[in-house]
Amino acid sequence: MTRIGIILGSTRPGRNGEAVAKWVHEHASKRTDAEFELVDLLDYKLPHLDEIGLPSMGNYQQPHTLAWAEKIASFDGFVMVTPEYNHSTSGALKNAIDFLFAEWNNKAVGFVSYGSVGGARAVENLRLVAGELKLADVRSQVMLSLFHDFENFSVFKPGEHQADALHTTLDQVVEWSRALAPLRGKAA
């Protein structure tokens, strides 16, 4: 069964991302074409990148890096739930991505973002990073507006049309994850 990790990319107290990630997981869990798991960065307690060697060498030394690598390696694709902070993604998500290399390779990634302009600029940034990590980013994405999909900028109430965008994104992530399986097999 294809395994997709839904990565909650915010660790901030009072984060909006928790409600968004749970909404993504709730919809994804009703599907039968893949297995979905919610991965909360808070559970991994990753400090600022503290590995001596380059992630591309794969010689991880820190216990937190080894646990993170094992979790990411267990998936065939990802949905990253990201806030937009200062025209980019969260530092916590970028840091978590930077810890690893091969564990991201030849997998698909889709994005669910939120912010004043739907988090579009955060995803633009993440698409550039994805290319360097040999992550295939899918075209569709979910952009949640703090003005329209949140009440008082903090209570998540997505518009009905957002579920359609989510299902399209999930379709593409699952399809691309399956299509990339032969490349992951060669690398192993």
**C-alpha to C-alpha distance for 29 and 163, rounded to whole angstroms:** 13
Q: What is the mean pLDDT of residues 66-94?
A: 97
* The pLDDT value given to residue 102: 97
Q: What is the mean pLDDT of residues 50-69?
A: 96
Give all domains of the chain, ordered by start, each with its CATH number: 3-187 (3.40.50.360)
* The pLDDT value given to residue 185: 84
* The pLDDT value given to residue 155: 96
Does this model's pTM top 0.85? My answer is yes
Q: pLDDT, tens digit, for every residue of 119-166?
A: 999 999 999 999 999 999 999 999 999 999 999 999 999 999 999 999
Interior/surface letters 95-128, b for 16+ CB within 10 angstroms, e for the rest: ebbebbbbbbbbbbbbbbbbbeebbbbbbebbee
